[in-house]
Amino acid sequence: MSKLAFLFPGQASQYPGMGRDLAENFPESRAVFDEADAALGFSISKRCFEGSEEQLKLTENTQPAILTVSIAAYRALEKRGILPDYAAGHSLGEYSAMVAAGSLEFATAVKLVRGRGRYMQEAVPAGEGAMAAIMGMSPSDVAEICKKAAQGQVVSPANLNSPDQIAISGAAAAVKRAVEIASQSGAKRAVMLPVSAPFHCALMGAAQQRLEPDLRAATFAVLRFPVITNVDAEAVVSGEEARDALIRQVTAPVRWVESMRELVDAGVNIFVEVGPGKVLSGLLRQIDRSVRCFQAEDSASVQATLEKITAARAEATEA
């Protein structure tokens, strides 16, 4: 029996114009944008549809914008009877997964991530934090390089994205040192990333402290289907576990490779990236080429994915 998982993208998947096609073609998606605008008290839909790349890159805009587009795409699939057996979301995407699973109300989530974006942005003064991507090194080698580069500063693995790609995060000087050491130690590539803050490291402690009361005040219901969390790479189904995972996630690394392997081990062989971009589909190809991954970010890809899932399930039934 084939199982289906929905994957929800995080920051860096945004692009100008995202979501407009969904809103124009699906009333249930349009309703999500209207709900987001009402909850936030300004037009996030306008920022998605007409905003510049610069506007969308501001973390406090990026996070609610990606969440809104992801849930707009999810509602289009849900309306057509496609529901997953599991879900996972990359960093910010974990909020989309919790909304899809019915643990968090969408209006609550969109306000939470607006705050989360602002707290993360304000946790470290501009220019003092940085992130970099290191390609072609093992997690243990990257951890060792971070130790060497630290020299009393924070630098650590932040996103274990694929067997070939690990992002590191921390103080700008320490991250730069780590990039130099990685380049000299045989990394395929080591490059600084154009991000506005050092996500998923100890420097986000202040953001975590500010976000925790917001998350404690929010209502988390039992999940309709399990979500694999970034922080533990394990399935959660209770609202309390979901909340706890989102609190700890701010300063902890995203264990994406382990999360995807957990889903494959659970029997998932069809994945759908629900929301803007194709970042997670690309990472999944690096993790496991035996599974299929489709996209749902506009009306054409939603329609194509419906057809592909129907065909894949028919194949599985015949087999």
| Rounded Cα gap, residues 122 and 244, in angstroms | 22
How far is residue 279's CA from residue 118's CA, in Å, rounded to a whole number? 24
d(CA 25, CA 233) in angstroms, rounded, equals 35
| pLDDT score, position 313 | 80
pLDDT at 58 over 90: no
- Give the percent of the chain with pLDDT over 70: 99
For 3-123+203-318, CATH gives 3.40.366.10
Rounded to the nearest integer, the mean pLDDT of the chain is: 96
Q: Look up residue 305 and give its two tokens.
A: 């994915």
What is the pLDDT at residue 90? 98
Respond yes or no: is residue 90 known to be catalytic: no
pLDDT band per the 50, 70, 90 thresholds, residue 317: confident
Specify the pLDDT at position 22. Answer: 98
Percentages helix, strand, coil for the chain (3-state, rounded to 5) are 55, 15, 30
Instruction: Based on the residue annotation, tell me whether 200 is a catalytic residue of this protein.
Output: yes
d(CA 206, CA 238): 26
Segment 68-103, tens digit of pLDDT: 999 999 999 999 999 999 999 999 999 999 999 999
Report the alpha-carbon distance of residue 116 to residue 274 in Å, rounded.
21
Mean pLDDT of 214-242: 98
Q: Where along the chain do its domains lie?
A: 3-123+203-318, 129-195
With CA atoms as reference, report the closest residue to 258 among 283, 233, 279: 233
Active-site residue, from 29, 156, 169, 200: 200
Say how many Å lie between the first and final Cα of the chain, rounded. 9
Tell me the per-residue pLDDT of 2-11, one tens digit each, with 9 for 90 and over: 899 999 999 9
Which residue in 29, 45, 70, 91 is the catalytic one? 91
The predicted model scores a pTM of: 0.96
Residue 59 is predicted with a pLDDT of 87
- Residue pair 11/277 in contact (Cβ under 8 Å)? The answer is no
pLDDT band at 319, cuts 50/70/90? low
295 forms bridges with which residues in the sheet? Answer: 273
Tell me the mean pLDDT in the region 60-70. Answer: 96
Tell me which architecture the domain covering 129-195 has in CATH: 2-Layer Sandwich (3.30)
Q: What is the mean pLDDT of residues 41-70?
A: 94
